Amino acid sequence: MRFKGKNALVTGASGGIGKAIIAALQAEGATVAAADLDLTGTRANHALTGDLTNAVYADGLSQRAADAMGRLDILINNAGIMRRGPVTDSSDEDFAISMAVNVEAPFQLCRAATPIMADKGGGAIVNTASCWGMHPGPGHAVYCMTKAAIVSLTQCMGRDHAPQGIRINAVCPNEVDTPMLRTGFERRGFDPETAVADLGRTVPVGHVATPKEIADVVVFLASGQARYICGALIEVNGGKPVE
């Protein structure tokens, strides 16, 4: 029960990874507030439904979670959006929504959460970045740019807030078998089941990551077992490089 008595806020709570994170935290005693556009079917203790592209909602979300639970010990910035294509195929809307969800919202949440945590003696923040933010690949210019911003934000904040007892790290997955991945295959005319299986054969460990395999690393970084890990970027890629 690594999280008995701990309170956590998880964004992107309705996605595959978000649900896995919530289940893992609750299984070890945490009280969880979930944030997403639609929280139907999400098994959290508190539902804070809203749109992260709304700056007022994003800026106030950390405090709302703290108010709902009495304090805020853990923040998981898991929400994300992927728009594919080179810059020349990317619209202003692709750029704007990617920046809003992938960069601005985590920035606002972190900015609000750090003083809340510091006031109670510390806490842990885990950002969901990406291998693609560390090693940019082809055909995902806007996505890579936004995840690179989270990589840098994590490293900077990790150093700035460690003296306050706040550990800030990032998990950096490669492909994960989520509804978002499968929907992307469908939009490009592929059968998702076949495409995921084919993709798995390109991964050295033999399969595309499951949401739980990412959630396990997120939960570790949020736990006291990672007490000396700060400002780190943990790649969870099954041995597969960005290509």
Positions marked catalytic: 143
Q: How many helices (H) and strands (E) does the chain have?
A: 9, 7
One-letter identity of residue 192: P
Sign for the CA dihedral angle at 230, 78, 211, 149 comes to negative
Q: Kindly report the CA angle at 59 between 53 and 61, in degrees rounded to 5?
A: 95
Sole residue written with tokens 């896995």: 20
Quick one: the chain helix, strand, coil %, rounded to 5? 50, 15, 35
Distance CA 92, CA 36 (A): 23
Q: What secondary structure letter does DSSP report for 238?
A: T
Question: What CA–CA distance (Å, rounded) separates 217 from 224?
Answer: 13
The two tokens of residue 33 are 């507030």
Rounded to whole angstroms, the Cα distance separating 138 from 190 reads 20
Residue with token string 């495409």: 195
The count of other CB atoms within 10 Å of the CB of residue 91 is 11
Q: What DSSP character marks residue 241?
A: P
